[in-house]
Every structure is written in C-alpha cells, then in structure tokens.
Homo-oligomer: A and B are copies of this chain.
Amino acid sequence: MKKALLGIGLLGSVGALVALQATRRGGGYYSSNNSTRVVVLGAGFGGLAAARTLARNRDGLDLDVLLVDRANFHLFTPILYQVATGGVEPDNVTHPVRYATQADGFRFQESNVQKISVEDKCVYTDDGPIYYDYLVVALGATNNFFGLASAEENSFTLKTISDGIELRNHIIDAFERAEVEQDPEVRRRLLTFVIVGAGPTGVELAASLRDLASHVLLKEYPGIDPGEVRVVLVEALDRILLALDDQLRQNAMKTLQSKGVEVLLNTPVADVEKGGVRIKDGSFIPSETVVWTAGVKANPLVADLPGEKGRDGRVRVNDFMQLPDHPEIYVIGDCAMYFMPGEQRPLPPNAPVAIAGGKTAAINIIHTLKNEPLEPLKYKYQGELVSLGKNNAVANIMGIKFSGFIGWLVWRAVYLYKLEGFKNKASVLVDWLFGVFDRRETSKLPVTPSKVPSESVAE
C-alpha cells in the first residue's frame, strides 16, 4: 500500500511537471563575420553553463557563442550508475545539446577536439580548425588509474553513456551465463561484483547493484542461489565517503552492510587481472566484473595548455578562471585547479564547482568586452548527496542532515530538479516509479564495446 501511494505520488509529479512546462523556444542565432568568437569546449555541466550565460548576457555585444562536443548530447552523470543497474534508461540521462541551443541562442558543433593551439588561437578538430577570440575549456575528466595499466585494461568504468550501457549488459550477461554454468567456481566468479573506490560513485553503484541483484535478478534467475551473489566494495583508506561527516558516514555504512554489500576498508588494490582483483596483501578476489571508481584526472587535452598543473592534470587558474598568462583562455570544472582564498586544497571536480566556474568565465568574458572589472569565482559549498539504493540516501544540504527514507526523497527531488530537459525529468520519474515496484531495464541493448561514446557514431 505504501508502495502504491508512493507510485501515485511520483506519477502526480509527472502531471505537475507537464502543467508547468514552459516552451521557451527561440529562433536560430547567427553571427556576422565581425562577431567576437567565443568557443566553449565540452557540453558537460560547466560548458553548458558557460554557453548559456554567454548567450543570455550578450545584449549589445556582437558575440558568436559556439559550443563544441564530440557527443551531440549533455550527459547527466550523477545518475549514470542507475543506467548501469537498469534503474533509468540511457535516453533519459542524455539531453540533446541542440535543445538547449534552440532555447538559449548559441550554436553547437559536434566535433572531436584533437588539439588546442594557444599560439594559433585555434582548436583543431576532426572536422577542421575552429578559431577563437575567447576560449572556455570545459572538457571534463577521465578515469584515473594512478598508473595501474592492469586496472585500465581489465576494469569497467562509469564516465560515459557507453560505460553505463556496457556495464548493464555485462551484469545481466553474468547472471545469464551463471545460470547455465555447472562449474561452481566459475559461477561464483560470474556472480561476484567488485567495485574499487568508496567515494560517492562507488557507494551508489554498490548499493544499487546489490538491490538489482536482490530485488530483481534473483527472482528472474531462479537457478541462482542468493548466497552465490556477492557485491564487494573495496577501499584503500580506512573509511568510505571521505567528504561526509562522521554521523552520515556511519549511517551509510550501516545501510550498505544491512543490504549485504561487503565493504573492505584498508584494502589497497595491487592489480586488476582478467579474472579478479589482487589486493596489496597478496589475497585475491575472483570476479568477472571489476568496476573502477577510484579517481579522476583532467582531460589529457589540457596538457596542451601552458601553466602550472596538478598531479591529476588540472591546470591552475586565477580568481577569474583565466590562465594566468593567457587571459583569453578560461579553464573550468574538472580541468581547472583553483584554490579558494585561504584554502590549502583546490575545489573538488564536481558539478556545482563546474557550473559556478562556467558562469564566472562567461560573465568575465562579457565584462572584458564591456571594459568592466572582472569578478572572482562565486562558489558556495552546498552539501553532499549520496544515494544508498532503494528508499535510502544520506544528504547534507546547507548543513541540514538527512538519512534513510527522507534522505532518499531529498536526493531524488534535487536530482530531478537538476536534470536537463523536461522530457528527461518526466521519463526518469516514470523509471523511478517502476523502480518502486522492482521493475528495472534488463534488456541487453546492443552497444559498442568502445569506451569512447562518440567514436562509434563519428565518421
């Protein structure tokens, strides 16, 4: 009954969203040859915020804003782990960039960036050169294997939509193969899922995968014994979710364990082999599915840029998000290393920081063109949100802490609000509604095994 009420409530929200729909379509926007050319690289959270802010504030200026990405969609990464576990459909977390260009009046080009040339003031792409007067580099991050080649080769990752679909297919496939497999050791290896790294992505994936197994797959594969399925979360440090405070962390830990996720702390990985994970102490966890969520580093293209770089490849920017020696180049989001005044650690590579950086970069380009003084980055820490699977999450919003069912409602409300696109909001709501009834997407969609999403469709 509680389930039914939840369902009706979620559905009612779809209705409310429909009623609220604003059709904000603008006409196409075209530039003259004399326009100031601003090129934004990357249609993630930061790049999209930069392009929009530029387009919306260009009044009086002859500004041509061009957003470039190798994919034709913005990916809503915070719930990508739900694509991997069948909780939401791939199409519901991808939002075509051109929807935004229509509404906001900037241009888009789907191209793969090969090289940024600071000297030529040019970005070289698969489709030819793109010259700029101002450049915003928002190319995001890639996985950090910390030099562990074996991990790069043998792990699944969770950064692109391909990654999500590929992992989902692989998980279903493991169950499919396990059910017909006679050798108990092979079955066990097929049904052991190891996630390396207990940051938010690792924890959210572990909880969701455990729920998928317990509430959905074990019913569909009656030949598999519940005791054969293991979800193991492996963490090098002595605790999970570093950014959370003790109380929320303890709540999260309790929830993970009550679900049956095995959390191994102080367990640094030495090697990811074909059939499992080797721990530094020499022990071995046999597994056909190792997911690496242990770290990120800046997009390697950032290496072309001059200036001081961090160990994770991020390039140091000034208070206005500019490269110190090239004020026409702004670097934001996961590509930028920025220290708030008085802070010892740079801002973390996450969506709110990227959005704040994108807005600051855009506003400062406008200021420059109007000969106005620049503004330093405006960023205020807003909190943390970590989903713990079915009906459970921990959240810290502006210092107010939530756990359990209320945390879960808060988590969903915030992400639904932040999700790009009205159709996506409604569709994710429907996906979540069915999740309440333990219905998930378990069809194996045919997907390229490539880990680079756009390569498969590019010419």
**Residues of A in contact with B (beta carbons under 8 Å apart):** 7-8, 11, 14-15, 18, 21, 23, 25, 27-30, 71-73, 89-92, 94-96, 98-99, 101-102, 109-110, 127, 160-162, 165, 169, 172-173, 176-177, 180, 219-223, 422-423, 426-427, 430-431, 433-434, 437, 439, 441-450, 453-454, 456-457, 459
Alpha-carbon separation in the docked complex, A109 to B223 (Å): 12
- A453, B446: Cβ atoms closer than 8 Å: yes
Which B residue sits closest to A175, measured CB to CB? B98
Which B residue sits closest to A12, measured CB to CB? B15
Q: Say yes or no: A454-B446 contact (C-beta < 8 A), given A127-B180, A180-B109, A220-B96.
A: yes
Alpha-carbon separation in the docked complex, A273 to B162 (Å): 32
Q: Say yes or no: A426-B437 contact (C-beta < 8 A), given A221-B98, A443-B94.
A: no
- B176, A72: Cβ atoms closer than 8 Å: yes
A-B contacts besides A72-B444, A89-B89, A430-B430, 9 pairs, CB < 8 Å = A71-B443, A89-B427, A91-B441, A98-B221, A173-B457, A444-B454, A446-B450, A446-B453, A447-B448
Alpha-carbon separation in the docked complex, A101 to B165 (Å): 24
In-complex Cβ contact of A437 among B23, B172, B433, B439 (8 A): B23
Taking each of A73, A160, A221, A439, which has the highest tally of chain B beta carbons within 10 Å of its own beta carbon? A439
- B222, A27: Cβ atoms closer than 8 Å: yes
- B14, A430: Cβ atoms closer than 8 Å: yes
- B176, A220: Cβ atoms closer than 8 Å: no
Closest chain-B Cβ to A372's Cβ sits at a distance in Å of 31
- A101, B457: Cβ atoms closer than 8 Å: no
- B18, A8: Cβ atoms closer than 8 Å: yes
- A101, B447: Cβ atoms closer than 8 Å: no
Alpha-carbon separation in the docked complex, A423 to B453 (Å): 27
Which residues of chain B are near A422, meaning CB under 8 Å?
439
> 3 closest A-B pairs (Cβ-Cβ)?
A28-B222, A94-B443, A73-B443
- A219, B446: Cβ atoms closer than 8 Å: no
Taking each of A14, A71, A443, which has the highest tally of chain B beta carbons within 10 Å of its own beta carbon? A443
- A446, B176: Cβ atoms closer than 8 Å: no
Which residues of chain B are near A28, meaning CB under 8 Å?
222-223
Which residues of chain B are near A447, meaning CB under 8 Å?
445-448, 456-457
- B72, A102: Cβ atoms closer than 8 Å: no
Closest chain-B Cβ to A434's Cβ sits at a distance in Å of 5
Closest chain-B Cβ to A43's Cβ sits at a distance in Å of 11
Which B residue sits closest to A427, measured CB to CB? B430
Closest chain-B Cβ to A149's Cβ sits at a distance in Å of 24
- B457, A439: Cβ atoms closer than 8 Å: no
In-complex Cβ contact of A11 among B15, B221, B423 (8 A): B15
Which residues of chain B are near A8, meaning CB under 8 Å?
15, 18
- A220, B102: Cβ atoms closer than 8 Å: yes
Which residues of chain B are near A90, meaning CB under 8 Å?
90-91, 445
- B172, A220: Cβ atoms closer than 8 Å: no
Alpha-carbon separation in the docked complex, A26 to B304 (Å): 60
Q: Say yes or no: A459-B222 contact (C-beta < 8 A), given A18-B11, A443-B72, A453-B446.
A: no
Taking each of A180, A222, A459, which has the highest tally of chain B beta carbons within 10 Å of its own beta carbon? A222
